[in-house]
Amino acid sequence: MTSNKTYEEPRPAIPADLRRSVEVESGHCCAIKGCNEHTYLEIHHIDQNRNNNTLENLILLCDKHHKMSHANVIDRKALKQYKDLLADSFNNLITDKFEELKALITGDKPSTLAPINSTDQPANHQVEKRAASRSDILNFALIHVAIAHYEKENKLYFEHQVEFRQGDTSLTLDALRQDDDLQEDIILDVHYLRKPYLDAPVYGPWLAKKIEIYELLTGRPAKGVLIAVVGRERMLEGSYLDLTQQGIKSCEGKVTLQVYSCEQVGFHPGTVSAAMFASNLKSSTLPSA
């Protein structure tokens, strides 16, 4: 049992990120199952060693259950079991959110698949030739050119292509600004709306779901900026993005919209069909080696 003298000594500070993780783990409620108290919460050291500031040793309790723990009415073994229940519940919640995001994307995303151009394979059948599609490469380039344009315009710089992994699941963000000087971290999500028919209400909710997962994984508050790059200048005005705007409004302030044209960001992916690509390869007008 820890002596009273220990509790008369100054308590080592718990880092803000660690404190946030403990709070997020229990959903900002007392960790004792069924309590649901969300006011007057305190962080308790399970082993009652104030110097042991590890996530595994910290649990969020209401005032009543905190006092019961110090009185050993709730012993350390029970607290560890409550902690394990929280971890299982938290992991299941994250898995559910990933599944919700997957359902949003696979259920509503307009199809961008194109026929694969069949080119000659190597003579050695043990060698496999692979190449990313031209459209995928150009769209990827456009995403990061658009982010660079947003960075320059806002004088705020981001990590690009950020991935968070937990087990077999992963969350990939086009760009992320993690900054303790900001009230919320910023997540950028870029979509290329080549023509008006690609306008859809799903882009905002996709980003909102990514923000929700990000906040669960990191314990950090975040907001999102949906960057829509349009293929035609006229799509910057009028009602061309009405559905996208509707989707943004449904996110209740978590997501804002920034629209650029390809001309504004300085890059246009263009359209090259498989037939054009094949004819170009076989053209006799190509420069000789």
Mean pLDDT in residue range 164-170: 81
Domains and their CATH numbers in the chain? 4-88 (no CATH), 131-265 (3.40.1350)
Which pLDDT value is given to residue 149?
96
| Alpha helices, H only, 155-273 | 203-218, 242-249, 262-265
Question: Which tokens hold the place of 48?
Answer: 């009652």
Q: What are the tens digits of pLDDT across the range 61-115?
A: 999 999 999 999 999 999 988 888 777 666 665 666 667 666 766 665 444 444 4
pTM here?
0.62
Question: Which tokens hold the place of 46?
Answer: 């399970």
Q: Single out the residue of 162, 175, 171 nearest to residue 101, CA to CA.
A: 171
Q: What are the tens digits of pLDDT across the range 228-244?
A: 999 999 999 888 999 99
Beta carbons within 10 angstroms of residue 287's beta carbon = 4
Rounded Cα distance between 174 and 287, Å, is 38
